[in-house]
């Protein structure tokens, strides 16, 4: 009998505690709801707060609505990025995309070492061919305003990431090189220096460019049949019409008031690529705004260091050139 009473009291005690816990839980839940409701009007939420970007794993694809078009860009932010860091745009070639040029340029690893942000914007599809492109004033085949898009994207990133508005640069492959020249002609207030890898000026830009003083780096191959150095590219679509690349370099050196020329054959460190590189530098320029032409003898339509010529790394040369102009 005594044992049964103990069991009864034990069971009652358990049920009482369970009931008590339910009451406490419900009371506490109601209490939290009332507290949250009473504080709702006092919480100041900044809708422009971008602190969430600290949790993003870069590289990362973002979208920017520009003039009614949802434009994509891939962004790489090194862990060691400091305030007022430089910003480098790298533009893909015709038919290509931002991921391809990010991978083969390996610019992210250079950004890690030197502390700058890299933006790889994505071109739109051409209405006539369906191919991705940049409208480097290719008036016969495109109407998208890429010049305004890239300028506005640069301003957006400068503001969002507290980047330097004085140290923004642009370079690109082929059609991306064409676009870099368009930005030199039209947006020298935004892009401080340009680099064109196997690109040139479009016919329209050659005839109508009205630039400020812009440092220029150009890499061209003597065996490039896509964008020939001699200016013989077809004018169909608005591509051709500019002269030999050496004349274009002279044009920019005159704009930049350069007075000297330095030429050098670079070391032929790879004997298996059937090519070698000469660099011609236009120097003694206004505010040191030099013009560099790398001629890859035996080179084709390639990005040196990724494929084709392996004596130089186009990406390393681009950053070496841009870094000269950091304020």
> Domain coordinates of the chain in residue numbers?
52-323
Tell me the C-alpha distance between 217 and 293, whole Å: 6
Residue 124 forms beta bridges with which residues? 133
CB 293 within 8 A of CB 245: yes
H or E, element range at 13: helix 2-39
Q: 53 falls in which pLDDT band (50, 70, 90)? A: low
pLDDT at 69 over 70: yes
DSSP strands (E only) in 202-300: 216-221, 260-265, 276-283, 291-297
pLDDT band at 129 (very low <50, low <70, confident <90, very high): confident
Q: Which CATH class is domain 52-323?
A: alpha beta
CA–CA separation, 219 and 275 (whole Å)? 13
pLDDT band at 55 (very low <50, low <70, confident <90, very high): confident
Q: Does the pLDDT value for residue 247 go beyond 80?
A: yes
| pLDDT band of 80, cuts 50, 70, 90 | confident
Per-residue pLDDT tens digits for 130-171? 999 999 999 888 999 999 999 999 999 999 999 999 999 999
In degrees and rounded to multiples of 5, residue 98 shows phi and psi of: -65, -35
> Per-residue pLDDT tens for 228-244?
999 999 999 999 999 99
Residue 31 has pLDDT above 70, yes or no: no
pLDDT digits (tens, 9 = 90+) for 112-125: 999 999 999 999 99
- On average, the pLDDT of the chain sits at 88
pLDDT digits (tens, 9 = 90+) for 87-106: 999 999 999 999 999 999 99
For the question of whether the overall pTM of this predicted structure is more than 0.95, the answer is no
Q: What residues contact residue 54 under an 8 Å CB cut-off, 6+ apart?
A: none
> What pLDDT score does 139 carry?
86
22 pLDDT above the threshold of 70? no
Task: Tell me: cis bond preceding 14? Omega within 30 of 0 counts.
Answer: no
Residue 45: predicted pLDDT: 31
Task: Return the higher-pLDDT residue of 35 and 195.
Answer: 195
Helices 146-160 and 175-186 pack at an angle, to 10 degrees, of 80
């Amino acid at each position: 009998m005594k044992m049964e009473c103990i069991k009864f009291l034990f069971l009652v005690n358990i049920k009482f505690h369970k009931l008590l816990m339910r009451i406490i839980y419900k009371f506490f839940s109601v209490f939290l709801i009332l507290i949250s409701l009473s504080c709702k009007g006092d919480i100041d939420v900044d809708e422009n707060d971008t602190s969430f970007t600290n949790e993003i794993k870069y590289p990362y694809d973002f979208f920017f609505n520009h003039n009614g078009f949802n434009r994509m860009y891939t962004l790489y932010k090194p862990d060691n990025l400091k305030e007022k860091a430089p910003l480098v745009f790298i533009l893909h070639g015709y038919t290509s995309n931002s991921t391809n040029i990010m991978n083969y340029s390996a610019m992210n690893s250079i950004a890690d070492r030197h502390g700058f942000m890299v933006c790889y914007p994505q071109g739109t599809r051409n209405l006539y061919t369906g191919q991705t492109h940049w409208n480097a004033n290719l008036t016969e085949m495109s109407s998208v305003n890429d010049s305004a898009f890239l300028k506005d994207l640069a301003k957006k990133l400068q503001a969002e990431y507290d980047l330097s508005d004085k140290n923004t640069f642009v370079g690109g492959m082929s059609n991306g090189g064409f676009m870099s020249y368009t930005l030199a002609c039209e947006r020298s207030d935004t892009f401080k220096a340009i680099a064109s890898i196997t690109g040139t000026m479009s016919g329209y830009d050659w005839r109508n460019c009205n630039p400020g003083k812009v440092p220029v780096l150009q890499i061209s191959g003597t065996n490039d049949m896509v964008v020939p150095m001699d200016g013989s590219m077809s004018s169909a679509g608005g591509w051709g019409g500019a002269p030999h690349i050496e004349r274009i370099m002279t044009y920019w050196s005159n704009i930049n008031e350069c007075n000297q020329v330095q030429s050098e054959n670079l070391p032929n460190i790879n004997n298996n690529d059937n090519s070698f590189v000469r660099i011609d530098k236009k120097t003694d320029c206004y505010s040191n705004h030099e013009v560099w032409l790398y001629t890859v003898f035996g080179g084709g339509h390639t990005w040196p260091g990724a494929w084709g010529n392996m004596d130089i790394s186009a990406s390393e040369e681009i950053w070496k050139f841009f870094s000269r102009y950091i304020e």
